[in-house]
Structure 1
């Protein structure tokens, strides 16, 4: 029961399109370094969820300074990425995936790490919230809850990264990439704004 509860709760939380999911989707559509990207996301969640169950969530809740640093750093990063996405959207002649030289895997992984670890909401969701929910299941069952959470994370990111390529025919048109990048720019700017005013 704890395993299923962890799986369902985590899946419900991470399916919403956010900065990290938008990045994974774009990499999946481009078929560019998808495995490293989904592994970074899923393994990061595993570390964060485990840390929350082990008690890190209590420490983070007691340290507003740590969340403030992540808040302003994360907002700055999101606004910068929004600017890059907006620039791509205004150059529709270079929108098709085949028109772009592949980014270096190091650059892609570092960007993915930034989306994951500079987002203060990831600490609230995985470490604080999931950690506290898991600990409500008792000293033994809490790790089953955590296993369910980690399984949900792996399931979601692998599905998003590798199944998004089925949309490739749609994104063979430059206009579709322009729409996606415009949406990403708007989403990143909105998330950064919400992050700064919250």
Structure 2
């Protein structure tokens, strides 16, 4: 029988944040590797390419824009973005720790994730590059760029675990997640079919 170690990991991570707080606040971003190893690496990997490729809970963070990562952590702190795991972890982080973690993961290089449904790749690429004119789904590449590297407003998506991307698209579509800029992703995801969400997620997983 599989065991959920999330509560134990959360307790250990929170303890590490509290213990490191004063030191990181003094040292600033130079201590990012220590913060990451002690708090984040267990779920996301020290280089941001970790996480469980079959789980929707722990995304890859490597290569995400620092501004995007910083916003997500602050949204977890304020409750704008909800998660039983990330909310208490983010709440324990100081502003200096948030800056340190965001800067560290933004500097890492993302690697492709595992593609498990290759039959969906052609559909995923078409929706990502061209959108769906009939249903009004815009091309994802228009905001996140053709290589899914993103920019200062829209995050890097290449190489993300497909289950995580799919789960977040469903949250946007249902309105469960509403911390996107201008609610753009809510509007886009609401027009996508379930198959399109799965297909785009698989396509993004295979990008470098």
Q: TM-score, with normalisation over the residues of structure 1?
A: 0.30
Q: Bigger relative contact order, structure 1 or 2, given CA contacts below 8 A and separation 6+? A: 1
Q: TM-score, with normalisation over the residues of structure 2?
A: 0.29
Query: Greater share of helix residues, 1 or 2?
Result: 1
